[in-house]
Structure 1
Amino acid sequence: MRRVRYEATGGPLFLEEAPSPEPGPGELLVRCAAVGISLPMVRKVTEAAEPVPLGGEVAGEVVAAGAGVTRFRVGDRVTGLCFGHGYAEFAVVHEAMASPVPDGATEVTAIALVRSGLVALGALEAARLAPGESVLVTSAASGVGHLAVQLARIRGAGRVVGAVSAPDKAEFVRSLGADDCVRYGDGGWGDPVDCVLDAVGGDLLTPALAALAPHGRLVAYSSGGGTIQAYDLLAGAKSVIGFQMALLARGRPQTYERWRQELWRLHAEGALKPAVHAEFALEDAAAAHEAVMSRANLGKVVLRM
């Protein structure tokens, strides 16, 4: 099979021939039709001390199942998270991390909707957003962010603000239902909000926390790290909540499944519309990474087999 990997921190990415993997107990072997590109994976290529397998979201057809698999069979279409080599024609996905792709939906739609949507929905749940409250979403034009903006509106937010890196993203973010769009470098971010969903981290944590009203909640789900001063929390009785999707998928499978069904229902009703910025061929994975690293994307970036 063909797969993408790299040999040293920073790349370059290259295409190689490799044996197809074998599914172990509880695992599925998926013939990939589409693969999602995420910022955490892109960052690992440039920041990890040693090369790591290019994993992430995959969608395609189950071609083999390991011992103990009960929810899926050969021929099913699934999407899920691969922790091994995912930028490949075949990838291994643990059954607990997989979910079915409904009839009539494409694998590209599944990539744009499910994993990113689960993170967005989980961040909103962690924020305990109440109807009428205001929310600010950082990286609002990203694969997760553009769904978080829509889901905040669907869940009754009184005001939704998107924060982006460049002014040319404002029109896209407003088209998703945001009331306003602000840029990271433009000083203050307008009136304080009840919740911030932060996918950026790093130096942005301080202004994100400052954007909260007293008793506000910041949900951090980025891979960007960052530090918060305790006094900044105490002064406004603010709180910071961490959220990680993989932990919830393994520990609360019923919640994971309920959220997944909600996402597909909202999509089928036309209320939630995942956007795909661009589709790249497997051999163009480096260009796909650049689109995400440069934050040029409006929606999800996808590899197509």
Structure 2
Amino acid sequence: MRRVRHTVNGGPEVLFTEDVAAPEPGPGELLIRTEAIGVTLPAVRKVREGSEPVPLGGEVAGVVAALGEGVTGFAVGDRVTGLCFTHGYAELAVVHSAMASHIPAHATAVDAIALVRSGLVARGAYEAGRPEPGESVLVTAAASAIGTLALQFAKAGGARRVVAAVSSAEKADFVRELGADEVVLYGDESWGEPVDVIIDAVGGELLAPAVRALAPGGRLVAFSSGGGTIEAYDLLVGGKSVIGFQMGLIARNKPALYARWRDELWQLHAAGELRTSVAAELPLNEAARAHELIESRRNLGKVVLVTGQG
């Protein structure tokens, strides 16, 4: 089978495709013949900034090719999506059954990649901010896969004002179509009228201006892999708070809630009430191009690798 990996850290150019033996599913695991693979900013950062090369895991979707010992609820031939923690940029990927779910008949593998993981994070981060109807919400990385869905959750949740923060003015029309009432650029001197909730997917140097953009009593939800530092005084002055969010904790500690959110995502998608956005579908051997697209911040929505096996 083919897979993509890297032996040194650096830019997209260090990725290469190799032929290797197919993996075997262990106890409780599924072997998935992938059709679509999600490319995420954390994966891109691991290649660029990691201390050492690591397997490129993440979201995969396809057909169950084999079952490990003790697996229940799945059968060979089922269409599934899930999180792979080993080599996910591959034609065959291993996923633990606890991190997998079925793809409804109305959806494609690309739909699953664009909706499930990004939608769960967007929904969870939005809920973590404890928004009240009539409050204002700002979403950073608003043109990303997670950001596009977070905008829609904010609009549907009754936000008085939804603000999209993006890297360039070329993205303004795109995020307005998804529900943004206003658009600001990261480099703007001011992000306008302060907001009650910020859903931040960027972190790093953007944390300081994001905190300044909060209204008194405002909440910033941080779930980015970009890190960053906040001065405690900047929070104390306006009684502001920062809330860390990690979807993995929900999946492990509140599986019923995780499953309910996932089912609701599919219901909203089937009803046409939640729009997914796919920036590009690229073949597996163009993983470097996919990473470059995300690094350059040119993507409008999800970047997906496809294997041509669907």
Q: Same fold (TM over 0.5)?
A: yes
Match of 1:216 in 2: 218
Pair 1:184-2:186 in alignment: yes
Q: Matches of residues 60-139 of structure 1 in structure 2 within 5 Å?
A: 60-139=62-141
Contact 1:80 1:97 in 2 (8 A): yes
Identify which range, 243-252 or 56-65, moves more after superposition: 243-252
Alignment correspondent of 1:304: 306
Q: 1:7 corresponds to which residue?
A: 7
Give, as a single letter, the amino acid of the residue that structure 2 aligns with 1:303. Answer: L
For 1:245, give the aligned amino acid.
Answer: M
Cα distance in structure 2, aligned partners of 1:186 and 1:208? 11
Q: Which residue of 2 aligns with 1:52?
A: 54
Q: CA deviation at 1:9?
A: 0.7
Q: Is the CA contact 2:106–2:270 (under 8 Å) kept in the aligned structure 1?
A: no
- Residue-by-residue CA offset, 1:198-227 (whole Å, 9 max, x unaligned): 000001001111111111110001000000
The Cα of 1:71 is off from its aligned counterpart by 2.3
* Identical positions, percent: 67
CA distance in 1, matches of 2:33, 2:164: 36
Partner of 2:164: 162
The residue that corresponds to 1:270 in the other structure is: 272
- Superimposed CA distance per residue, residues 245-292 of structure 1 (whole angstroms, 9 cap, x where no aligned partner): 122112211111000011111111111110100110000000000001
Contact 1:96 1:253 (C-alpha < 8 Å) held by counterparts? no
Amino acid in structure 1 at the alignment position of 2:3: R
Alignment partner of 2:14: what SS? coil
Please give the TM-score of this superposition, normalised by the length of structure 2: 0.97
Please identify runs of 4+ aligned residues in structure 1 that moved more than 6 A.
none
**Mapped partners of 1:69, 1:249: distance in 2:** 18
CA displacement 1:133-182 (0-9 Å, x = unmatched): 11000000001101110111112111100000000000000000110110
Aligned partner of residue 238 in structure 2, secondary structure: coil
Whichever residue aligns with residue 184 of structure 1, its letter is: Y
Code of the aligned partner of 2:242? V
Q: Secondary structure at the match of 2:117?
A: helix
For residues 93 and 245 of structure 1, the distance between their equivalents in structure 2, rounded to whole angstroms, comes to 17
Counterpart of 1:183 in structure 2: which amino acid?
A: L
| Unaligned 5+ runs, structure 1 | none
**Aligned partner of 2:303: which letter?**
V
Unaligned runs of 5+ in 2: none
| Matches for 1:200-215 after TM superposition, within 5 Å | 200-215=202-217
Give the structure 2 partner of residue 18 of structure 1.
20
Structure 1 position 80, deviation (Å): 0.9
Conservation of the 8 A alpha-carbon contact between 1:140 and 1:164: yes
Give yes or no for contact 2:141–2:167 (8 Å, CA) kept in 1.
Answer: yes
CA distance in 2, matches of 1:212, 1:69: 47
Partner of 1:261: 263
* Whole-Å separation in 2 of the counterparts to 1:26 and 1:208: 42
TM-score, normalising length: structure 1: 0.98
Provide the secondary structure at the position in 1 that maps to 2:98.
Answer: helix
Q: What amino acid does structure 2 have at the position aligned with 1:216?
A: G
Secondary structure of the 1:132 match is: coil
* Kept in 2: contact 1:36–1:300 (CA 8 A): yes
Partners of 1:137 and 1:149 within 8 A in 2 = yes
**Distance of 2:214 and 2:83 partners within structure 1:** 33
Quote the offset at 1:68 in angstroms: 2.1
1:130 CA drift (Å): 1.4
Give the equivalent residue in structure 2 for 1:241: 243
**What is the RMSD of the two structures over their aligned residues, measured on CA atoms?**
0.8
Please give the alpha-carbon distance, in whole angstroms, between the structure 2 residues aligned to 1:262 and 1:128. 19
- State how far apart, in whole Å, the 1-side matches of 2:254 and 2:73 are: 16
In structure 1, what is the equivalent of residue 45 of structure 2? 43
User: Whole-Å Cα distance in 1 between the matches of residues 133 and 26 of structure 2?
Assistant: 45
Q: For the Cα contact (< 8 Å) 1:137–1:198, is it kept in 2?
A: yes
Which residue identity does 2:85 align to in structure 1?
F
Q: Output the amino acid matched with 2:93.
A: A
